[in-house]
Every structure is written in structure tokens, then in C-alpha cells.
Amino acid sequence: MLKLHYNLEKISMGLVAAIIVAASIGGLVEIAPLFTLDETVELPGDLRPNTPLELAGREIYMREGCYACHSQMVRSLADELDRYGPYSLASESAYDHPMLWGSKRTGPDLARLGGKYSDDWHVAHLIDPRSVVPASIMPSYPWLTRPLDTALLPDALATLARLGVPYDKEMIAAAEADALAQSRPGTEAADGFQARYGARPAVQAFDGDPSRLTELDALIAYLQSLGTLTDAPYRALAEGAP
């Protein structure tokens, strides 16, 4: 062996090849099967993709680095089930490019956040967390009251559609209008939005002011959608699946 290595050290391309081989095996074994196993590719029938407004909110969530303090992955441990809710399934984030599971909980997990608080609470909390939770160390985000830029949404939906997220042509074409419509309940546009996305996504004046479409609207729409894209985790828990 030693002799063999002694010779290998004299051939740079030999070293290069050996390094590539040694460093490829593990990744191949662990990653490739994930594209074929039922456990990781099967999707629940009721899984819906994010609406354009939620998607815009997701971009803001990433832009502001919320993921650096908040996870979106409830582990299958008793205390996490009690604190947050059913543990997360792989299928829940199947449409998430990229996933936002996170690695640090400076703040609580948000995977089951949807519906936990009112929109007003979120508005107050995002603008000044310490006005609602005095001991909070979360940053304030007063600038989120600025208007939402929706110009990229159609292209964003089209790009995701190319990656396999089920947005159809109509959804892509109407993306900007739908973002606006979701924050204006009771309008005709809102009906059009619901015709495309069904009755499940909430149509609300998320930031409390239906006359303006703001970044807060988008972010809160996203936060309220967390954990509500499918009921599969609740079913899995009820069935006592492993």
C-alpha cells in the first residue's frame, strides 16, 4: 500500500483522479436515491403551491434573513410536537426552491405558524417586536410598509413552473393581478384569484389597508400560509405513522 502511494505522489493527475473518486462516493449514495424513493418524492393530493403574493412574501423572508433565526422544520421529538405541532414531512416543502428548513432557532420554529396569530398581531410584531413581546430580541422591520414590487412575479412563476411547480399559463399571466387581488377581499379580482387558486388561500387585507399593496401584505400572507399548504402532517400524526 505504502509503496503504491509512494508512486501515486509522483503523478499529479493520479492524485487528482483519486481525490475525485474518493470524494464522490458518499454524495452519490446519499443524494441520488432521494430522487426515486416514495418517501421523498410522493406528494399528497391536497398540496398546493404558494400564491404569487405568498411567493413574494417568501422572497422577502429570504431577503431579510428571517431564516437565520427561524427554522421551518419540526423534528419528530415529543417536545417539538407539543410546542409546535405535527412534525414536518418531506412532501410539505416539495415546491420550495430553495427549502427554508433552517439550522438555528434564535426565534421559534415557524413551520406551523399559519393561523396562530391575527394579521394585526403580525403587523405590530414585524414593525416593532418589543411592542408585543417585550423580551424579544427580534429585529424591527419598519421599512416593510413600503409598496410591493410585483414586476418580477410572472417571470418568477414561469421559472418555477419550469422546475416542476404546478403553475399553469393562466396563473403565470395573471401573477401580478393575483398578488394584488389576494389582499383585496370582496372585489371582482379576488373572485378571479380564487377561480385559479381555489378557496383555501386566505384573501385578506393582510396589512389592514386594502388600498395599498405593501411588502407587509406579502410577508404576512406568506407567514399565514405556513403549514397550511397540505393537511398531510395532521393525517400522518393521526395515523401514527413513524
Partner 1 sequence: MTATLTLPERRIGLFLSVLLALMGLFMAAAARHGVMSLHGFMALGLGLGLVFLIGGSLYDPAPPHRRPDRYYDAPTRFGLTLTLVWAIIGMGVGVWVAALLYWPEATPPWPATSFGRLRPVHTTGIIFGFGGNALIATSFHVLQRTSRARLADSISPWVVVLGYNLFCAWAVTGYLMGSTQSKEYAEAEWYADLWLVVIWVTYFTLYLRTLARRNEPHIYVANWYYLAFILVVAMLHIVNNLALPVRLTTAESFPVWSGVQDAMVQWWYGHNAVAFFLTAGFLGMLYYFLPVRSGRPIWSYRLSIVSFWGITFFYIWVGSHHLHYTALPYWAQTLGMTFSVMLLVPSWASAGNAIATLNGAWHKVRDDATLRFMFVAAVFYGLSTFEGSFLAIRPVNSLSHYTDWTVGHVHSGTLGWVAMIIFGAIYTLVPQLGGKRQMASPRAIEWHFWLAVTGTLIYVIAMWNAGITQGLMWRAYDRNGALSYSFVQSVQAMAPYYLLRTIGGALFLTGAVLCAWNCRATLRGAREGAADRPLVPQPAE
Question: Which stretches of the chain bind ligand HEM, using CB under 6 A?
Answer: 68, 103-104, 106
8 Å CB contact between 201 and 178? no
199 touches, from ligand HEC, ligand HEM, partner 1, none (C-beta below 5 to 8 Å by class): none
23 touches, from partner 1, ligand HEM, ligand HEC, none (C-beta below 5 to 8 Å by class): partner 1
Which residue is listed with cell 403565470?
172
Q: Look up residue 214 and give its DSSP letter.
A: B
* Binding status of residue 10 toward partner 1 by CB under 8 A: yes
CA separation for the pair 5, 183 (Å, rounded): 67
Q: What residues have CB less than 8 Å from 108, skipping those under 6 apart? A: 70, 83, 84
Cα Rg of the chain (Å, integer): 22
Q: Using the minimum distance from each CB to partner 1, give the nearer residue, 91 or 183.
A: 91
Q: Find the binding residues for ligand HEC in span 56-85 (CB under 6 A).
A: 61, 64-66, 68-70
> 165, exposed or middle or buried, with CB in 10 Å at 0-12, 13-18, 19+?
middle
Which residue is listed with cell 395515523?
239
Q: Find the binding residues for partner 1 in span 81-110 (CB under 8 A).
A: 82-83, 87-108
CA separation for the pair 39, 62 (Å, rounded): 27
* Binding status of residue 53 toward ligand HEC by CB under 6 A: no
143 touches, from ligand HEM, partner 1, ligand HEC, none (C-beta below 5 to 8 Å by class): partner 1
- Binding interface with ligand HEC (CB under 6 A): 61, 64-66, 68-70, 106-108, 110, 113, 116, 129, 133, 136-139, 141, 219, 223
